[in-house]
Structure 1
């Protein structure tokens, strides 16, 4: 299997998946309100999706180690399509909850399985490049998806969900036609004989990497939750300008993931990329405190995005290189920690913001420093083990 031919296909698949997911983001709150949902119920509706991913991503990762990546990817994409069409036809709040729960359970197969697929087809030297390309596809999907959703919402609130479902169906057939299985039968049989817990991946020094991802996601989710209020108060920025700011950050993050992560990890290693990413993120957190206009807000948030953007691909690459469990088990558990950060981050960020509007960003910088220390601990422990071996 030629990596150069497969990676563009995976890029297209994940881009379309994330465009479909992003389409519904600006519309879901209004649809929930239309069917009688309160702001509190909307918050629960948004959180339940991540909660399902928290529990089910490791399961799908392990299943992909046993039966192969392609069938699990198809399950995840079909789950997204199903959830979108259910939401499009929803006439009550409980139907929306069913759609989000079903979507969360099934679509949690997408990210860990795609990451595992990349790990299967890339050499250790090219691993960072592959993970970066998937990260770039994810970022660009989130840039274009909400814009498409906003446009079609002018037709009706239901239309964006139908469009998202159609995107998912197209992606489903693209995977059937273009994506070949990456995990050989021999490796599947070997792994299916192992009845280990999903926590097998969470052993030894590599367990620190999972906690590192949790901290990074936690601080980022807190920023995403509060930045709109912060920018409005400090710089008088409205929703349209805010959309442009996040679009600029998304493009910047996608560029560094798709273009820089590969060469940087190949030349300097994942560890150096993680360190640089964490340091740049910390600088971004501090600079955001000095935002006073559209351009300063855009520049400082983009600096944060550039740093944060390189961390996840580098962590995924490092993890699949060093984990002793299957690639799917490792990436599935990583997605679970990522989901936990997305669940806990918004309420924590909101609580900090209510104390002081700059506190989410000060705490983000502190957490970044803590993440840097954690990585150093991992590096020392892993080096000692390699020296013994």
Structure 2
């Protein structure tokens, strides 16, 4: 409420007791994020239904681990190249086109996987899908950052992660059961139909959160900043077109950014290092059925879903660094379990612990990126994050192809476990994130009584100076 106050020497002053902020109202923002989480859950369900079948399909072509690893490399290489550009496109043209386009590509790609007649065709389709869907993650995180309060980012990123996990709860189990009973047709057709439904819901339910007006304002701010840069050495921080250079747009401090990228790289590398080996190991050596493998992935998904919803906001309260360390240690359990036991339910228990670890790491990691990234470059930063992740998923299967003839599966699992634990140690030693207390203090200052008094004092000084000037002029 605004209260008028009269001052004989200053006229009428209105005291502001609230500070209005632009953007969507909180209820609408929450609704959009929840709807996007539902769409993500549907998309991941459609992918999860056919994910356990990739090894089966490649095996039917007469190929094995090396070819499956090559298909993963094709997907990842395309992502490494495309993700930073896709992130920049999301900053330039908005989040919605990238999200819609990615869901459309998934629908076409799943159809291609089903119709592929050779391993080469399968690999080519995976490569194209990797390039054309590389913008989904950056655009999604950009959307969350656009409308979620800064002190609740990890919470809402956790909700999106919960949607991803929900897909891995339902998809692999249903896909495995359908395949065991009827073969490839039903799981692939159900997956394609669900992907199409996801696209339609997204088209009608998800609006643009990075509007044209906001993009134009950010562009003008960047151009103004560029004009203020001296013509001397510091001008290197801007491009000839007046926009901020790539290096100047990176999150700061760079050491923290590099450490976060290493976390992302190691987690993706660890998983994709065992990914080509895992299905053949559980099918051929442990004797699991497709449904059992799907159930194991589902238990992992359940743990990640529950953890994301219950623990996702932990880093908002306790800080990013300690949650990252705890989450990484828990996440290593899946690799340790595969190393030391072949008992089905013990492996399931290890997967559940690892799922809780991922539920801690992913929201804290993405929120940490957004904490140190300028508003106008959020999707670009998340694109770099996605590219580094794709680099991990490219290098890991390439190394698998080289060493698969020389090392047993347990050695592969132990390498991934050691990498994750080493990453936790690196976070403990090297990660230094700027505190958010200063931002909170600035926000409090915006509506503080001290600011009101300062404004009144400034107006008083202006009035007195003007009156003095008039008297001097009259006297002259």
Which residue is 1:107 aligned to? 133
Matches of 2:405 and 2:270, distance apart in 1: 13
Is 2:415 aligned against 1:369? no
Give 1:316 deviation, angstroms. Answer: 0.5
- Residue 359 and residue 102 in structure 1: after superposition, are their counterparts in 2 closer, same or farther (change >3 A)? closer
| Counterpart among 68, 75, 99 of residue 73 in structure 1 | 99
When Rg is computed on C-alpha atoms for both structures, the one with the higher figure is 2
Query: Are residues 1:359 and 2:359 paired?
Result: no
Which structure 2 segments of 5+ residues have no match?
A: 1-23, 223-242, 439-476
Equivalent pairs counted in the alignment come to 381
Q: CA RMSD in A?
A: 3.1
Does the 8 Å contact 2:172/2:294 carry over to 1? no
**Preserved contact between residue 261 and residue 310 of structure 1 (Cα < 8 Å):** yes
370, 386, 389: which one aligns with 1:320: 370
| 1:249-260 map, 5 Å | 249-260=300-311
SS in 2 for 1:316: helix
CA shift for structure 1 position 299:
1.4
Deviation, structure 1 residue 291: 2.4
Farther off after superposition, 101-110 or 199-208 = 199-208
In 2, Cα distance between equivalents of 1:304 and 1:146: 18
Corresponding residue to 1:302 among 327, 352, 356: 352
CA drift at 1:77: 0.9
144, 166, 170: which one aligns with 2:193 = 166
Structure with greater helix share of residues? 1
Q: Deviations over 1:206-227 (max 9, x none)?
A: 1221112101221233344445
What residue in structure 2 maps to residue 201 of structure 1?
Answer: 250
- Give the stretch that moved more between structures: 372-381 or 21-30: 372-381
Matched, 1:274 2:299: no
Give the conservation status (yes or no) of the 8 Å contact 1:152–1:160.
yes
- Write the distance in 2 (CA, Å) between the matches of 1:232 and 1:90: 23
Q: How does 1:1-389 map to 2 (within 5 A)?
A: 1=24, 2-32=28-58, 36=61, 38-39=63-64, 40-153=66-179, 154-155=181-182, 157-191=184-218, 194=243, 196-197=245-246, 200-201=249-250, 204-205=254-255, 206-227=257-278, 236=286, 238-239=288-289, 240-262=291-313, 264-282=314-332, 285-286=335-336, 288-291=338-341, 293-324=343-374, 326-348=377-399, 351=403, 354-355=406-407, 357-380=409-432, 382=434
Q: Is the 1:61–1:112 contact (alpha carbons within 8 Å) kept by the matching residues of 2?
A: yes
Q: Which runs of 5+ in 1 are unaligned?
A: none
When normalised by structure 1's length, the TM-score is 0.85
Q: Does structure 2 retain, via aligned residues, the 8 Å contact 1:214–1:338?
A: yes
Residues 86 and 237 (structure 1), Cα distance of their counterparts in 2 relative to 1, 3 Å cut: closer
Deviation at 1:250, TM superposition (A): 2.0
Q: 1: distance between equivalents of 2:333 and 2:324?
A: 14
Task: State the shift of 1:20 in Å.
Answer: 1.9
Cα drift, residue 382 of structure 1 = 4.6
Q: TM-score, normalised by structure 2?
A: 0.71
The 1-side partners of 2:108 and 2:363 are apart by 29
- Separation (CA, whole Å) in 2 of partners of 1:313 and 1:171: 23
8 A contact 2:69–2:400 mirrored in 1: no
**SS of equivalent residue, structure 2 residue 149:** coil
Report the CA distance between 1:83 and its aligned residue: 1.8
Change (3 A) 1:318 1:230: same
C-alpha contact (below 8 Å) 1:226/1:353 kept by paired residues: no
**1:123–1:81: structure 2 CA closer, same or farther, 3 Å change rule?**
same
CA contact (8 A) 1:66 1:189 kept: no
Q: Report how far residue 144 of structure 1 moved.
A: 1.9
State the secondary structure of the residue aligned to 1:126.
helix
After TM superposition, the structure 1 stretch with the greater mean CA deviation from structure 2, 10-19 or 216-225, is 216-225
Deviation sequence 1:247-285 (CA, Å, 0-9, x none)? 2222112210122112x1222022221111022234564
